[in-house]
């Protein structure tokens, strides 16, 4: 009986962890919302406090082209970048963004930062 209970609990835990999925990014620029699927994110890197804490996100080719177009059309506008509905950072678009971007995470919620690092299996450099 105990073995059956252990197997049942193990199966439940595996199914819960398997159902956890990565989120994509949401961009809000000048009142317009743009969603980027998780497969748009090619790579995520984190640099810890020793090097000026920051997160860099690189896009797949198709999504890089889309981001290039969005940033070109909205140059000078404010952009909010969110993950799972939680803001990672806000700032002006100062240059055309294509392959990816990097931003300081000093003001980013530790919970949100931890979630993206966990979801994308990022190791602190």
pLDDT tens, the chain, 125 aa long: 544 433 434 444 443 444 458 899 999 999 999 999 999 999 999 998 776 899 999 999 999 999 999 999 999 999 999 999 999 999 999 999 989 999 999 989 999 999 999 999 997 65
Distances (CA, A) of 40 to 8, 10, 24: 36, 32, 7
Number of other CB atoms surrounding residue 9 within 10 Å:
10
Domain locations in the chain? 22-119
Residue 39, C-beta contacts closer than 8 angstroms, at least 6 positions apart: 24, 60
pLDDT given for residue 123 in this prediction: 79
How far apart (Å, rounded) are the C-alpha atoms in residues 122 and 44?
7
| Global pTM value | 0.76
Look at residues 25, 12, 92, 93 and name the one whose alpha carbon lies nearest to residue 55.
25
pLDDT given for residue 99 in this prediction: 94
What's the distance, CA 99 to chain centroid?
Answer: 14
Cα dihedral 78, 84, 89, 91 in deg (nearest 10): -10
pLDDT given for residue 125 in this prediction: 56
How far apart (Å, rounded) are the C-alpha atoms in residues 44 and 55?
7
CATH code for residues 22-119: 3.30.1360.200
């Amino acid at each position: 009986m105990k073995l059956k209970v252990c197997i049942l609990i193990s199966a439940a835990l595996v199914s819960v962890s398997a159902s956890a999925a990565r989120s994509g990014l949401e961009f809000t620029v000048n009142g317009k919302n743009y969603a980027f699927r998780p497969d748009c994110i090619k790579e995520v890197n984190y640099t810890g406090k020793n090097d000026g804490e920051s997160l860099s996100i690189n896009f797949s080719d198709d999504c890089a082209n889309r981001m290039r177009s969005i940033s070109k059309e909205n140059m000078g506008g404010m952009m909010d970048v969110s993950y799972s509905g939680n803001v990672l950072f806000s700032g002006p678009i100062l240059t055309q963004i294509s392959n990816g971007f990097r931003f300081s995470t000093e003001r980013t919620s530790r919970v949100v930062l931890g979630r993206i690092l966990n979801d994308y299996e990022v190791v602190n450099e």
